Structure 1
Amino acid sequence: MNGVINVSEFKSKPDAIFSEPLQQVSDFVFDQRVVEVFPDMINRSVPGYQSILQGIGQLTKRYAQANSNLYDLGASLGAATLAMRQNLQGLSGVQLIAVDNSPAMVERCRLHLQGYRSDVPVSVRCEDIQQSALENASVVTMNFTLQFVPPEQRHAVLANIYDNLRPGGVLLLSEKFTSADPAMNAMLIDLHHEFKRANGYSELEISQKRAAIENVMRIDSLETHRQRLEAIGFSAVQVWFQCYNFAAMLAVKAS
């Protein structure tokens, strides 16, 4: 199949998880209930998501090296994995490894990957990315994954990626971010909430989802991301996509 996979093509129920008042809002988890609505949730919640997937495919085609491994860390249902896979045709000796720590996500990811034929081998691992053994990597994708790693452990995760990247290898990092300017940060949050309202979410859903996720998703500023990546050793860090308070970055290891 040619082109970029649109995550909305994945079978999905409408996201109504937070549509009714909850007596107590529990911390957000990627369980079976979320798996069933995830394609609808991600498209209605993350501005520019399809553009990011397309860019991941383009950058994979540009930076993937023959006889190397490519990783999608925090693969969820496999949309980024598929975007990468479609851009590896004709490149010899490559294999894709998708990693996620949610058994429900991994099970559905395997089904999605089986539904699209390709000569590029792909395996799916159910494990914590903090414990993942990486090796001989040319492209590593973390698509809205690092923000769920405890802040004090993020440097170690990224350093492990850097250490196992080939010279000229890249990290593709997509994240929600915060602005250091309080007024600008409030404006970006308002724009994101307007985006969600335009996609049919109610004020109750927006409020309850925010309460559910605030303890499990700790976001950094773009400057924090840049400084951390440069401190680890990446020779170039570039934001290649931004919409409101969501951004995608490219970090390159020197050749």
Structure 2
Amino acid sequence: MKLQIEGRKISPNHLRIVMIGGSHAGKSSTGNTILGKSAFNVNKINERTTTHSEINHGVVEGRRLTVIDSPGWYYIHTLQDTNEMDKLEIRNSVYLCPPGPHAVLLVIPLAISIDASYLNGVQQHMSLFREDVWKHTLVLFTRGDWLGVKTVEEHIESEEGLQWIVNKCGNRYHVLNNMDQSDKTQVKELLEKIEEMWAGNEDPYYEVDLDRAAHIEAKKEAEDKMVKRLKKTNERKSRFLKEVLGGKQ
């Protein structure tokens, strides 16, 4: 409203949000907290819940939201360690909400120590996007209950790697406690921060190349076919070995 009164940008009534980050960072739970419903599956234990980028929609605080969840990379994996399908899915996440996301939430759990390996993993996986993605990125801390009496600012100051990430994001960050989804204030404040970031950017969103999207989709389909072929081949080998071994008994 203030922006409208001052005659500047009018806030969009439809926000497009993409969540990225490491495995078990709480991206799916964060999507559920933001949308206020069980939109993304979080039931699996000790397994990655998200293997493909997923999209869900909702209306929150009078705004239409499109929220995309993406597969996470393993804790301290380099980009080279991450398999091709995961890299394709992470890249693809920003293409699921054309013409591009207003906000990319880099999801980081507060309980994790940001050492050199973790920081390197973040830097390398963010390189899957263009450098200007950082202008549209906000650090979203999960496990807000873990802070206790400590402030998030104190936590950031205590981690040199975290300082680098937050600075790279223009000092934009927010804390969510996904264990308390009844606290609607934390989501309202997050959406306000996203709108502030949007208002301060010359480009209103991270623009995607739709031709590139078609190329990525074709590559994904080729990878999927290859994985299915390998699975069938391994199943045939397994059946053959069982028959051979069974015949020797």
TM-score range, shorter chain: 0.3 to 0.5
Q: Which structure: greater strand fraction?
A: 1
TM-score, normalised by the number of residues in structure 1 = 0.33
